[in-house]
């Protein structure tokens, strides 16, 4: 019983033939080495747990083939690794450290935190580079049954698994199914990626992935399953690991470090069909709306263009013109035309030159081509020489 500390190459017994294990026991205070309520140990499923008296406080998920327990970022890469060793039916957890690395140790802190420490020769102190639980919802079952801690968010928060909804404002009450599963009426499994597998599972040995899936699908009480290939652990443990859950899923987490695994969750088939059907309806509707919006935008642009071409020219009144001979200013919204030139062009607003009358006044034709030529030479656009449209004035 190594009190609260385990050093590299020491072995922590997880279980033996009598289902007993070795525990780390935290100090009661920084200066009080008497035993506290916090202890750490393992079980036959190779889970690592911290207990507060008899209640779980934090749990590391069942072994899934990942050997690295903590990553200490340095130029040489990870320097601490974890292995499970089978010694005649008794399983031990062993930590090893790379050659030339700093001195390291793992402790169960008096606060219940699991900490990996590395000696800093510059500051002559122990640096913490890994600790759990990492957040409030990382504590055991803090998000309640069928809830999970989403560690991928900037701030880890509790959420409900797919197909479930919150029971109340307090997530400790967990989540409930939106639609109950009726045995024999069809159901499906959805894949939840990168998950910390829940607690309270049934460990089935020596199963392939298909056999593991069949174990759950044929039992209406099975809510989820998970499978891992442990062949990279050598001959120390079983080559496969099939976990099935027959009731509530507790202490689940969405991992943000890529060390999670697939969790296959049972939901009613109608939920899958409903989502698929809604998607099939939504996509054509969205495409149709997009086409209609494009047509409307083109029509509006064309309408604005027609309005601009149909918009009447603004003409200055004689008081504004004075005796100026400036005919057209590109930077002005007004077309500057000498009033005397207009009189000459219309032959003094002669009735013989009237083409017709409209809501905006009388329309005159040009009277003298020489005057029109004069206006053209001054810069008046030729289109305006063909016909004049001005307000009737005295």
List the domain boundaries for the chain.
5-133, 141-274, 314-389
Tell me: pLDDT of 145 over 80: yes
With the CA atoms of 199, 58, 262 and 208 taken in that order, what torsion angle do they form, in degrees rounded to the nearest 10?
Answer: -50
Tens of pLDDT along 293-339? Answer: 878 777 777 776 655 444 444 444 444 444 444 444 444 444 456 66
For residues 182-186, average pLDDT: 73
Instruction: Provide the pLDDT confidence category of residue 97 given band limits of 50, 70 and 90.
Output: confident
Tens of pLDDT along 218-234? Answer: 998 999 999 988 776 55
Given phi > 0 = left and psi -120 to 50 = alpha, else beta, which region is 189?
beta
Q: What is the pLDDT of residue 305?
A: 60
Query: Closest by alpha carbon to 49, among 114, 128, 137?
Result: 114
Instruction: Provide the pLDDT confidence category of residue 98 given band limits of 50, 70 and 90.
Output: confident
Neighbouring C-beta atoms of residue 196, cutoff 10 Å: 23
Please spell the DSSP secondary structure of 255-291, one letter per residue: -SSS--EEEEEEEEHHHHHHHHHHHHHHHHHHHHHHH
Please spell the DSSP secondary structure of 288-311, one letter per residue: HHHHHHHHHHHHHHHHHHHHHHHS
Cα dihedral sign, 144-147-150-154: negative
For residues 54-62, average pLDDT: 91
Query: Closest by alpha carbon to 205, among 175, 236, 181, 228?
Result: 228
- Percent share of the chain, pLDDT over 70: 69
Q: Pairing mode, if any, of strands 240-245 and 261-268?
A: unpaired
Burial class (CB in 10 A: 0-12, 13-18, 19+), 55: exposed
Q: What is the pLDDT of residue 315?
A: 40
What are the angstrom distances between the C-alpha of 51 and each of 19, 27, 36, 114? 17, 14, 11, 11
User: Residue 367 is encoded by which pair of tokens?
Assistant: 């009277």
Q: What is the pLDDT of residue 39?
A: 94
Alpha-carbon distance of 148 to 133, in angstroms, equals 14
For residues 243-248, average pLDDT: 95
Tell me: pLDDT of 372 over 60: no
Prediction pTM value: 0.64
3-state helix, strand, coil in the chain (%, to 5): 20, 35, 40
CA angle 74, 78, 84 (to 5 degrees): 165
Sole residue written with tokens 């009358």: 357
Alpha-carbon distance of 329 to 128, in angstroms, equals 77
Neighbouring C-beta atoms of residue 8, cutoff 10 Å: 17
Alpha-carbon distance of 198 to 181, in angstroms, equals 20
Alpha-carbon distance of 177 to 271, in angstroms, equals 11
Average pLDDT, the chain: 76
User: Residue 304 is encoded by which pair of tokens?
Assistant: 């604005």
Q: What is the pLDDT of residue 345?
A: 73
Given phi > 0 = left and psi -120 to 50 = alpha, else beta, which region is 32?
beta
User: Residue 140 is encoded by which pair of tokens?
Assistant: 């055991």
Instruction: Provide the pLDDT confidence category of residue 161 given band limits of 50, 70 and 90.
Output: very high
Q: What is the pLDDT of residue 17?
A: 58
Alpha-carbon distance of 287 to 362, in angstroms, equals 51
Query: Closest by alpha carbon to 130, among 81, 195, 66?
Result: 81
Q: What is the pLDDT of residue 322?
A: 43
- Percent share of the chain, pLDDT over 90: 32
Instruction: Provide the pLDDT confidence category of residue 61 given band limits of 50, 70 and 90.
Output: confident
Instruction: Write phi, then psi, for 61 (nearest 5 degrees).
Output: -60, 165
5-133 is a CATH 1.10.238 domain: no
Alpha-carbon distance of 177 to 146, in angstroms, equals 9
Give the rounded distance of the alpha carbon of 377 from its chain centre: 68
Instruction: Provide the pLDDT confidence category of residue 289 given band limits of 50, 70 and 90.
Output: confident
Q: What is the pLDDT of residue 386?
A: 42
User: Residue 241 is encoded by which pair of tokens?
Assistant: 């690991």
Higher pLDDT residue, 262 or 355? 262
């Amino acid at each position: 019983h190594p009190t609260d500390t385990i050093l590299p190459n020491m072995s922590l017994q997880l279980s033996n033939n009598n289902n007993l294990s070795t525990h780390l026991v935290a100090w009661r205070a920084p200066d009080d080495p008497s035993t506290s309520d916090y202890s750490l140990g393992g079980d036959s499923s190779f889970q690592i747990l911290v207990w507060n008296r008899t209640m779980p406080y934090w749990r590391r998920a069942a072994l899934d083939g990942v050997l690295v327990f903590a990553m200490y970022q340095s130029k040489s890469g990870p320097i601490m690794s974890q292995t499970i060793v089978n010694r005649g039916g008794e399983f031990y957890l062993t930590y090893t450290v790379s050659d030339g690395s700093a001195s390291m140790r793992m402790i169960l802190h008096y606060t219940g935190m699991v900490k990996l420490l590395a000696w800093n020769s510059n500051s002559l102190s122990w640096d913490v580079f890994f600790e759990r639980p990492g957040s409030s919802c990382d504590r055991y079952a803090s998000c309640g049954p069928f809830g999970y801690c989403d560690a991928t968010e900037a701030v880890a928060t509790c959420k409900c698994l797919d197909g479930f909804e919150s029971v109340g404002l307090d997530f400790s009450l967990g989540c409930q199914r939106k639609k109950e599963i009726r045995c024999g009426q069809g159901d499906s499994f959805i894949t939840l990626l990168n998950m910390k597998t829940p607690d309270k599972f049934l460990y089935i040995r020596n199963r392939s992935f298909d056999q593991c899936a069949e174990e759950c699908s044929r039992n209406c009480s099975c809510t989820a399953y998970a499978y891992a290939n442990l062949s990279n652990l050598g001959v120390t443990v079983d080559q496969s690991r099939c976990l099935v859950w027959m009731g509530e899923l507790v202490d689940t987490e969405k991992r943000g470090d890529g060390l999670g695994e697939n969790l296959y969750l049972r939901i009613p088939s109608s939920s899958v069909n409903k989502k698929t059907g809604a998607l099939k309806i939504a996509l054509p509707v969205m495409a149709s709306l997009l086409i209609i919006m494009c047509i409307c935008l083109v029509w509006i642009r064309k309408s604005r263009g027609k309005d601009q071409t149909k918009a009447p020219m603004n003409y200055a009144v004689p008081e504004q013109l004075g005796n100026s001979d400036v005919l057209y200013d590109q930077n002005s919204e007004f077309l500057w035309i000498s009033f005397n030139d207009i009189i000459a062009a219309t032959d003094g607003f002669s009735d013989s030159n009237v083409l017709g009358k409209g809501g905006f006044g009388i329309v005159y034709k040009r009277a003298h081509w020489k005057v029109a030529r004069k206006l053209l030479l001054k810069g008046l656009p030729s289109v305006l020489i063909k016909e004049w449209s001005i307000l009737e004035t005295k």
